[in-house]
Structure 1
Amino acid sequence: MFAAYAARIDRDQPLNGLELGERPAPEVRPGWTTVNVRAASLNHHDLWTLRGVGITEESLPMILGCDAAGVDADGNEVVLHSVIGQTGHGVGAREKPSILTERYQGTFAEQVTVPAWNVLPKPKELSFAEAACLPTAWLTAYRMLFTNAGVRPGDSVLVQGAGGGVATAAIVLGAAAGLRIFATSRDEAKRERALKLGAEAVFATGERLPQRVDAVIETVGAATWSHSVKSLKPGGTLVISGATSGFTPKSGELNRIFFLELKIVGSTMGSKEELTGLLSFCAAKGIRPVIDSTLPLDRAREGFTKMAEGELFGKIVLTV
């Protein structure tokens, strides 16, 4: 079957390890099922995999891709929850949870196998492309906002780095839930698009806000860390799920964190129950993921290049 996969690890030039070509069709394990992929979406996790994060040379070649929507063996339209082993289903209770591509082959292929427990019905209101955007970036944003940030309708939230998949999702989901969303970006066009998605106000990266906020959604990392901490009200919450600009900020702002009793919460992906809630929320409220572009699987390299260069707003979808 045709697939996009990591053939080599290159920490400095990750796209050098990306190959497109034929790979063996997946074998079904007991308790697992095969899904014919109709659409899958790119995440920064795929670039990190090409850099060797969460994977070893011994695991290669590894088909990339965490997200997918497709059709199962019984003809049902489904969405995949990409955290394998979160409850032991299909792998045994002692195996640590992992995301597709860390231990098991991913979704950038004609077929993928996952534990049957990881398959959810696709809402009829969502297309395959839209549904394929939800299980990683949008689920991450959903958990950051509604589980870890502790915000309620009317609260204020700063979303750093408008344009990325998680940030875009946080703007849309937060606005739909009645939150006051402030967003930042270095790019004026992205700031304008954030306003159209429901942000109350937008600012250049690092610009001082007119007020402090109840929570910050942080995925940029080093470049925005100080601004995120300084933007919080006393007792506010900073939720971080990524660091696309690097892991080491110039200042940790530790004095502000302890003196203002700020909360720093790490957040990774989300549970199957949260994905079920996200799917229902999108269907009920008419929410649709923001799709930057849609490409056939054999043009996956174009999508990877665009994501690596940061030249996107929303999700890049690969169709099969």
Structure 2
Amino acid sequence: MLAVSAKSQSADDPLSGLDVGEHPDPQVPEGWTTVRLRTAALNHHDVWSLRGVGLPADRLPMVLGCDGAGVSEDGDEVLVHAVVASPGWTGDETLDPRRSLLSEVHDGTLAEVVAVPRHNLVPKPAGLSWEHAACLPTAWLTAYRMLFTNADVQPGATVLVQGAAGGVATAAVQLGSAAGLRMWVTSRDAAKGEAAVALGADRAFASGERLPERVDAVLETVGAATWSHSINSLRPGGTVVISGATSGDAPAKAELTKIFFKQLRVVGSTMGSRDELERLARFVVDRGIEPLVDSTRPLAEARDGFAKMVDGRVEGKVVFTV
């Protein structure tokens, strides 16, 4: 089958290890099934794998990809949930300490066919296009859990999203706006802030800019560079939800005094559950949300999409048709 794989790794030249070509069909363990993919999407996780982060070299070659949608063996249209729980685990799979993502232990979705646990199949709503379905299982699911499960905000609340242009941030803006939240964003690039406003954000601010009022929740994916601003921007009793630290995980100040004095909540958030992905898909259709798509191209041209992401020229999701 045609697949996009990491065959080697290089921190400085990640594309040197990318292979777009024939790969053996997936092995199907007991309790698993296969999905013939129609669309798949690219994530920064895939580039990090090529750089040697999170994917040990002894697992190569590995088919990349966490996002995908297609047709199951039973002929059903499905989304693929990428969080793979360990054998025997019950409950929220994101809390399983031995969980993995597709493309970490098991081959991923950038292929014609992917093998997944049967539990990981999520019905694709009839009103959800294949292109938009492929956008949801990773960045969009992460944003959904941050907003609606872990931030615990209600319509009318104000939420600050640090780093307006990232995939999770973009999804959070579109989801929060559709849910009746007042969404504010920060960005080092004024044009990216304006783009976020066009997607539904109420206001955009420069990174570190003093806000006109304190917010109910902050969605944090940047880390060290924005941590103090996030804490200072919260009202007493507010919540910061963190799902990443692209600028590093060691801020100059931990802000512990402000956290306990203002009784702030600091909540970690990773991906989302299968049930949350099902609710997310319905929500996107019911509210008429159209996930921002940077470009769509055939899987055979995946290298071009990877190059665009490595160069930092992606706005929205890069989607591959299979």
TM-score category by the smaller chain? over 0.9
CA contact (8 A) 1:81 1:119 kept: yes
TM-score, normalisation: structure 2: 0.93
Provide TM-score, normalisation by structure 1: 0.94
Paired residues for 1:162-201 under 5 Å? 162-201=164-203
The separation in 2 between residues aligned to 1:230 and 1:265, in whole angstroms, is 16
1:241 to 240, 243, 246: 243
Equivalent positions of 1:194-273 (< 5 A) are: 194-273=196-275
Query: C-alpha separation between the residues in 2 aligned to 1:277 and 1:211?
Result: 32
1:109 to 104, 108, 111: 111
The secondary structure found in structure 2 opposite 1:68 is strand
2:28 — aligned with what? 28
List gaps (5 residues or longer) in structure 1: none
Q: Does 1:10 align with 2:49?
A: no
Cα distance in structure 2, aligned partners of 1:308 and 1:214: 34
Q: Structure 1 residues 215 and 55 mapped into 2: Cα distance closer, same or farther (>3 Å)?
A: same
- Runs of 4 or more, structure 1, over 4 Å off, are none
Asked whether the 8 Å contact 1:38–1:71 carries over to 2, the reply is: yes
- 2: CA distance between counterparts of 1:145 and 1:171? 10
Aligned to 2:126: 124
Distance 2:227 2:260 in 1: 15
**Residue identity in the other structure for 2:64:** L
Opposite residue 3 of structure 1, the aligned amino acid is: A
Q: Distance in 2 between matches of 1:162 and 1:95?
A: 30
Give aligned-pair identity as a percent.
60
CA deviation after TM superposition for structure 1 residue 27, in Å = 2.2
Q: SS state of the match for residue 79, structure 2? A: strand
How many corresponding residue pairs? 318
* Aligned CA-pair RMSD: 2.0
Post-superposition Cα deviations, 1:154-191, rounded to whole Å, max 9, x if no partner, equal 11100111121110110011111111100112222221
Change (3 A) 1:18 1:56: same
Does the C-alpha gap of structure 1 residues 310 and 211 become closer, same or farther in structure 2, counting only changes over 3 Å?
farther
Decide whether the 8 Å contact of 1:163 with 1:313 is kept in 2.
yes
State the match for 1:76 in structure 2.
76
In the alignment, the residues of structure 2 paired with residue 207 and residue 312 of structure 1 have an alpha-carbon distance, to the nearest angstrom, of: 25
User: Cα distance 1:309–1:257, how it changes in 2: closer, same or farther (>3 A)?
Assistant: farther
Relative distance call for 1:89 and 1:237 in structure 2 (3 A) is closer
Cα distance in 2 for partners of 1:218, 1:293 equals 26
